Amino acid sequence: MYWSASTAATAPLKAATPGQAASTSLDEATQKATNAAGWVQENWGTWVESGLKMLLIVVIAVVLRHVIRRTITKLIERMNRTAAAAEGTALAGLLVNAERRRQRSEAIGSVLRSVASFVIMGTAALTVLSVLQINLAPLLASAGVAGVAIGFGARNLVTDFLSGVFMILEDQYGVGDEIDAGVATGTVIEVGLRVTKLRGPNGAIWYIRNGEVKRIGNLSQGWSTAGVDVVIAADQDLRRAREVITAAGEVMSKSEPWNELLWEPVQVLGLSEVHLDTVTLSVSAKTMPGKAAGVERELRWRIKHALDEAGVHLAPRPAPEEEEEAAPADPTAAIAAPSALNNPSSPQSTATDPLSSPVLGK
pLDDT of residue 271: 86
- Measure the CA–CA gap between 27 and 24, rounded to whole angstroms: 5
Domain ranges of the chain: 172-218, 224-310
- Measure the CA–CA gap between 43 and 320, rounded to whole angstroms: 104
C-beta of residue 97 within 8 angstroms of C-beta of residue 138:
no
- Measure the CA–CA gap between 174 and 220, rounded to whole angstroms: 9
pLDDT of residue 50: 79
pTM exceeds cut of 0.75? no
Q: At what angle do helices 136-153 and 98-131 cross, to 10 degrees?
A: 150
Single out the residue of 157, 197, 156, 161 nearest to residue 177, CA to CA: 197
Q: Please report, in tens digits, the pLDDT of each residue of the chain (362 residues total).
A: 334 444 444 444 444 455 555 566 777 777 777 766 666 666 666 777 778 888 898 999 999 999 998 998 888 888 777 655 555 554 444 445 566 677 677 777 877 888 888 889 888 888 888 888 777 777 777 777 777 777 676 777 878 888 888 887 777 887 778 888 888 888 888 888 888 889 988 888 999 888 888 888 887 777 888 888 888 888 888 888 888 898 888 888 888 888 888 888 888 888 888 888 888 889 998 888 878 888 888 899 989 888 888 888 887 755 555 444 555 565 555 555 565 556 667 666 666 666 555 544 44
224-310 fold: Alpha-Beta Plaits (3.30.70)
The CATH class of the 172-218 domain is mainly beta
pLDDT of residue 31: 73
Which residues, in sequence order, are CB contacts of 282 under 8 Å at separation 6+? 227, 228, 229, 268, 269, 270, 271, 272
pLDDT of residue 6: 42
pLDDT of residue 60: 92
Identical fold for domains 172-218 and 224-310, yes or no, is: no
Please give, one letter per residue, the 3-state secondary structure of 224-255. EEEEEEEEEECCCCHHHHHHHHHHHHHHHHCC
Which residues, in sequence order, are CB contacts of 68 under 8 Å at separation 6+? 113, 116, 120
